[in-house]
Structure 1
Amino acid sequence: MHRLARSALLWSGAYLLLALLPIAVVLLTRPPAGRELGAELGALLGLLALGVLASQAVISGRHRWFAATLGYDNLLQFHRQTGIFALLLVLAHPIVMLSTRPGWLEYLDPREDTLRAVTLILLVAATLVLVASSLWRTRFGLSYEAWRALHGALTLFIVAGGLGHAVMVQHYTEGAVATLLLGAVVGLSLLLVVESRLLRPWRLRRRPWRIVANEPERGDAATLTLQAEGDHRLNFAPGQFIWITLGDTPFSLQQHPFSVASSASDGKRFAFTAKRLGDFTNSLPEVAPGTCAFVEGPYGTFVPDPENASGAVLIAGGIGVTPIMSILRSLRDQGDTRPLWLLYANKTWEDATFRDELAELEECLDLDVIHVISDPEPEWKGESGKIDEALVKRRLPRDDGRRQYFICGPEPLMNAAEKALIAQGVAPTHIFSDRFDIV
């Protein structure tokens, strides 16, 4: 079994264990008295929802000890899918319970117990808002900072409220042992939120960085260079990314991920390149040298195996070329001689950020750069259109079973490239995609 597949099975099992802990706790400490099957099923669905929601903090908190080998991109996609699953569980819990005993509808009647009824209604509504705002943030017009604050507040409310509801119902949680154990299991997720939002920034404040250069790039982009202030450094691998907070304090909702674009040869100084694509990236070209910054990371497994002599195929679309630039610049500094191929797609030739440097890299690396322009000028002589199976088959070498493939760019390009590679016989475990889109 491939190493990545083994890691996926291992951490999937770990996640399943975490999600089932609330059910395990109450069943082991107090076997339930006999009730209708629907009532017991509904109660267990609620406990499972609590476990899944509590486990979300483990997935999304950028904890290095959890599933680091799977890559943050994969964890993010898993986080989104399990969030939808948690929503379905939250909705299924009252539906199954009420269909079994309609009299329990009084739990939602504010005339019977206003606080209890309002809390339960708000828990369901908060879960709906949490999932919807995460899936369609841009459609709702939410800035990343506003969404991050909303996401954190709703998560704390839902997990804490769900725990309170489970304890107050008393069917499975009657007795101090069950209450304390369930509180410890769910409380762990709340502590992880505190660690990522408060303790981690507290540690970062002792490791400041400074913007030392801000240079415009072709394609409406800008490259910001940071220098460490002090004896700390950023030991990253080419292709990894970091989270950056600009300003005098790390305690800020304004924290964004960017791939490192510079060579990994100097840990005291690094650079990232961003295109104007959103509310935060639109402001980056105006960031003045001398601005303080705080850096968390590095993260990611979008990193070529240094022992793989078969080389690598790199596929980029637009500004998705930035982690690939870090890979190429690092290999240049190391004097690497492995064969490399780069398919680089842009709308126009003028949009091709780093095209001049890529031509220079072709001279010092065993690199074949293939530009693909979707909206070419009449005089364009290179590849045009989109990256598809025909282009991959025509311009890339036949897979040898060991070569690695790295894809970064807009979602449609990445989907098309993955499909084209798999159609050519490339094993999915040899394809590394960097597709997170949370900024």
Structure 2
Amino acid sequence: MQHRYLPTTEQDRKEMLETIGVSSVEDLFQDIPQSVRFQGTLDVSPMLDEHGLLKHMRRLAGKNADHDQYTSFLGAGIYDHHLPVVINHVISRSEFYTAYTPYQPEISQGELQAIFEFQSYICELTGMAAANASMYDGATALAEAGALAHGATKRKQLVVSAGIHPEAKQIIATSAHGLNLEIVEIGCKDGVTDLEQLAAAVSKETAGVLVQSPNFYGCIEDLAAIEPIAHKDGALFIVSANPLSLGLLETPGALGADVVVGDAQPFGIPSSLGGPTCGYFAVATPWLRRMPGRIVGQTVDRDGKRGFVLTLQAREQHIRREKATSNICSNQALLALCASVYLSTMGKQGMQEVAELNLQKAHYAAEVLTRIPGVSLAYGSPFFNEFTLKLPETASIRELNERLIGEGFIGGYDLGQDDAALQGHLLVAVTERRSKAEIDEFAERLEAML
């Protein structure tokens, strides 16, 4: 069968071996004792031709419970949102999908402009003064925000809400360990950060107060009440926000946040089995020079024409080495482009309408699901497009989700996986893609199983 590429030929191997001065590939391993070398043939599947390999991969892909074949009520950080078809057309252009972080502004103006637009959108949504060119994902962005607070205040303590996504908390802990920071976790009351406990924990040793809103349980935090507590002793107020919720909610910037981070996955980025996604990072003016990652700036050339450049690079490790603000040196430019195309396609009104649909459908679903005997809302706090249900004590969420898959539904997230105190609690996400009929059928199937 003809190959679509040129594999290494025997002549290629011969010439390479001659160039480096050995007679065989075996000679390359002569420093490894025979006693520890693997003898024989590796236990892997036999070689497949192109047709056989494609067939095999399609069969494997067919095992996935994707959003096209199944109705999803699973969120917990990755959501089934509408993906405008124009996004794929734009990001499939070779100028974008082959481009790495642009170092040469004279040949990367399109890429730089796309990133600049992304930064501008993030500033509009968050109410912050400046945003960077993106981060790896929302969780690492939150950890970087904690590091920024430490660098800005020279303090050694981070106060973290228990309502933050557990995976993000793990990443924060890893980052804090390397920086020798202490983490103080604040519990939740009725699904949101316990303000009394928070006020008692924040002190002159606190570098930053980290919260997520809507939080991992779906509840909207009272940022206006948290802000004075965070700032009373000079700590930074750091908010991780679902950016889609900002189509309806007041911006964290207007509520006093110093740093706003999050994941741009709701903006036209497919779930892709959990990633990759794209983190955003925005700051108030005092912290601009401490912001990690790349920043694209707008300028004019010598003819007065609009142009774009990478700016404030003196913060970065390839210039400042160990004194850099962060060790992140790249960004998710292609996925940030997804977000930019999504936001430009939807516009301000479209963003508000999509956010409104998420809110209304989630509240309708909560109303319908809590009609099931023994099922109730776990918390009374306001929520956006995700909420926590308390199921009957006899219910096994794992078994329920396995049975729901058989019925064509991807069920909610089992919160008992992360917290033993939340056994029997189901986190349900409802986006604009869910219809009334789907919500009603999901409730019927769940009731029958319970």
Q: What TM bracket, shorter-length normalisation? A: under 0.3
User: Normalising to structure 2: TM-score of the pair?
Assistant: 0.23
Q: Which has the higher contact order (CA 8 A, sep 6+)?
A: 2
TM-score by length of 1: 0.23
